[in-house]
Structure formats: C-alpha cells, structure tokens
Amino acid sequence: MKHCVEKYNLGNHLHLNDGVKSAIWDESNNLWKVTTENGQDFEGEIMVGAVGMFNDLVWPDIEGMNDFDGVSFHTADWNDDYDLKNKRVAVIGSAASAVQLLPPLAALAEQVDMYQRTANWVNFKEDTPYTEAEIQSFIDNPETASELRQSFYERVDEGLLFDNPERVILAEEAGSRNRAIVEDTDLREKLMPTHSFGCKRPLLSNDFYPAFNRENVELITERIEKIVPNGVIDKHGNLREVDTIIYATGFETTKFLSSIDVRGREGRRLEDDWADGAQAYLGSTVPGYPNMFMLYG
C-alpha cells in the first residue's frame, strides 16, 4: 500500500488517523460537506461510502457486565497491554471471532470457558502451502496458475448462493468430518449446528475443534444469567470464576453507511430512512441522497 501511495502520488489526497462524524448534503451548492471527529471539514461533489460492515460493535445484554472486577474487552477493541498468560478466561460468543480466538488463547490461558448460544458450521480451511515443485510449475507454465485461479473463482461463486442442495450436503459432510476431531462425543454433539449450512455464516478453521481436546478448554451452552464481580453465573446458578471476560459478539453488520450521521435533501437522515432496514437501488444508491454511492451494498 505504501508503494502504491508513493508511486501514484496519493499522499496529498489522504487524510489519516481521523474518523468521519457526519456527511451533510448542501442543496444550494450541490455538494457533500463532510466533518471529521477532529473538527476538519471537507467538500465534494460525490461521496462514496466505503466504510464496510465492521464498525459498530455488538455488546450482549447481560445483567452485571459493569460489575465485573476483572479485565474485560471486545475482540474488536483488543487490550494489547493485557497479558493473558495463565489467566482464567471466559469467551462469550462462538462465531467467527471466537473461532479465530480460541486456539491461540487456549495455548496461553490457564482455563478457557467458551459460552455458546448457537453452534456454527466450521469446515476445513484449505491452505496447504504450495511445494517448490508446484511453484516452479506456475513459473514455467503461467497458464496453469491462471486455470487454478479460475477454478477457485468458479467454485466460490457457485457456492455463495447456497442454492445447490448437493453442494450443501457435501459442505455439511465436510463440516461433520472436521467436527469429528473432537474426541468427547457429548461435546461433539453440543457443537453440532441445528441449522442448514449457509443459513448462518460458514466458518473455516483447522485448529478450532482440536482446541476442545485440551483439558483447559470447556464449552458452556447454558444461558448466562448474570455477570458478578468474580465471574459468570449460568441459568442454573452455577458460578464459574474468571479473571478475564472477552466478548466475541461481533458487529452491527446491517447498519451499513448509517453508522455515520448522513443527511440528504431537506435534512432527512439516513438512519431514519433505514429504520426498518437498509434499502438502496442496485445496492449502491439511495433516493434523496444525491451523488452518494456505497460499496458493500
């Protein structure tokens, strides 16, 4: 990225280490006026919202979260100064963030309790490194690499709709083979998804399920009743004492551009227009917000 900035002289066009607070349409001048969190103002005829979907954090609604005496933080706001070595840790959440977090955490912590509301499909991740011979074959025959790349595109594109029953069955069979790594049969059953593959975001990991074969990792599927100063209490009244709580509860993925205060014609607010759900023409433009275009529609 630095190379591209230098090569194409982009430095003067970048404003870094600041956030966008608001974007307001100026009807009289046909301009977008953007104000940053540091108080700077910018104007432009066209505004492109490329904020993605991982901005606003989701926090669970659990009684007593603020009463915890230990250290707690969200996976997306990681506490880099905190040493997890030999700590007793509760991980609340079991989807993408937790699947990435659990294996390295289990190798550090004294004890890891992962609280799961819904089991997810976690399939093998195909990331075996190419051998030197394979790499040389790509160099000698570039069309081979192009063909392989195209096959990946076709396979992924075909699978993204989850509308091919045969492919769904194959994916579920692969997920079951991956889950079979878990040695405890009762635990393996708790990790079995109750929804069809594709109904929730499928995940990929080769080291998530092996982590449950460690003695210091426990899966808890009972609902959390409340958090107290020294730990987590489940619905049966059982207290599990911990030093640390990590919230792996994800992001507000459906807010899109309304995570910023965007105002269009006649002062209308994008957040109000999307109160019942985000809608856009071809996923990229919204009536009443001229010259505003969105990525990740």
What is the structure's pLDDT at 79? 96
Strands 224-228 and 47-49: unpaired
What is the structure's pLDDT at 259? 75
What is the structure's pLDDT at 257? 80
Residue 191's alpha-carbon distances to 13, 113, 118, 202, 213, in angstroms, are: 49, 14, 8, 14, 13
CA–CA distance, 294 with 292 (Å, rounded to integer) = 7
State yes or no: pLDDT of 78 exceeds 70. yes
State yes or no: pLDDT of 254 exceeds 80. no
What is the average per-residue pLDDT within 254-260? 78
CA–CA distance, 89 with 82 (Å, rounded to integer) = 12
Token pair recorded at residue 133: 């011979």
Token pair recorded at residue 279: 């809608």
Residues in the chain: 297
Residue 42's alpha-carbon distances to 14, 38, 46, in angstroms, are: 12, 12, 12
Q: Tens digits of per-residue pLDDT, 161-207?
A: 888 899 999 999 999 999 999 999 999 999 999 999 999 989 999 99
State yes or no: pLDDT of 55 exceeds 90. no
Residue 253: band (very low, low, confident or very high) from pLDDT cuts 50, 70, 90: confident
CA–CA distance, 266 with 113 (Å, rounded to integer) = 51
Q: At what angle do helices 132-140 and 142-159 cross, to 10 degrees?
A: 110
Average pLDDT over the chain reads: 94
What is the average per-residue pLDDT within 219-230? 97
CA–CA distance, 155 with 5 (Å, rounded to integer) = 34
Residue 252: band (very low, low, confident or very high) from pLDDT cuts 50, 70, 90: confident
State yes or no: pLDDT of 297 exceeds 70. no
- % of the chain with per-residue pLDDT over 90: 85
CA–CA distance, 11 with 240 (Å, rounded to integer) = 52
Transcribe 108-174 into DSSP letters. Answer: H-SEEEEE-SS---EEPP--PPPPHHHHHHHHH-HHHHHHHHHHHHHHHHHHTT---HHHHHHHHHH
